[in-house]
Each structure stands twice: as C-alpha cells, then as structure tokens.
Amino acid sequence: MATLARQGPRREERRGVLPGLTVTGTYVPDDAEVEVDVLLEPVHRGVMASGKVRAPWVGQCRRCLEPVRGELETEVRELYEEDSDETETYLLSGDQLDLEPLVRDSVLLGLPQAPLCEEGCSGLCPTCGAELDQGPCGCPAP
C-alpha cells in the first residue's frame, strides 16, 4: 500500500515477493523480489501512477528446452480512481492505493510466452531429439 500526499507528485519505490506469477511455463520464482518504482501524481478524482516494474523470470527455451533466465522491465502508466469499478481503473481508497494489482498485471502481461536461450537456437531434431546446436545428429534430412 502507498499513502498519498494530495498536494503534489510523490515517488514510491517498493520491492517484495509476489508468488504465483506464471504464464505458459515462464514464471517469476516465488522467492524472487519484484520491484516497482512509480511517480504518483494527483489528477482530477484520482491518482496517475507511472514508472517501471522489474522482475527476474525463469523459463524453458521453446526450441531446445534448456533453462532460460531473464529480467523483465516494463513501463506502467495507470489510473487509480475513488469510484473505480476495478475493471477499467485501479481502486483508490481515500489516501491509500494498492500497488500489488498493478505490479501483478504488469508482470503477467510482460513475461515472455515463448522464450529462447538465444536467437539462433537450432532446437532439437524432430526425429531423434538430439540438440542440433551441438552438431548434426545423423538423421536423414526431411
């Protein structure tokens, strides 16, 4: 939760663990810290939160199935409103706003759905399953 100063912009930096951040096999480890750094600016009937969200992620290369790790950094710019129905904007409750739904949504939308260990990964032979980056497997060409 962040407390607002309605007089002007305020910067908030938070970090913590958010378990359960998974998209199609790519995930943020449950014990990893997720960071948010936002500027909170009062606007008519609400607060605009803009800044960055960062999180480490782990997945499996879609071609060779080797483990892949990366760092997600995504830009956010979202509105918190007092009379929000929570389907279009985030809820502002008095002088309190909850950054967790914003961070969770940002990470889930930013996680790679089909990560690669490297752009030129050759993957596995569809016949024998050999890793083609380590050389030809001996199977006849398709």
Whole-structure pTM value: 0.83
pLDDT tens readout for residues 89-105: 898 888 889 999 999 99
Q: pLDDT at residue 45 above 90?
A: no
Q: Where are the domains of the chain?
A: 2-134
pLDDT tens readout for residues 8-38: 899 999 999 999 999 988 999 999 999 999 9
- Residue pair 48/11 in contact (Cβ under 8 Å)? The answer is no
* Whole-number Å distance between alpha carbons of 55 and 71: 6
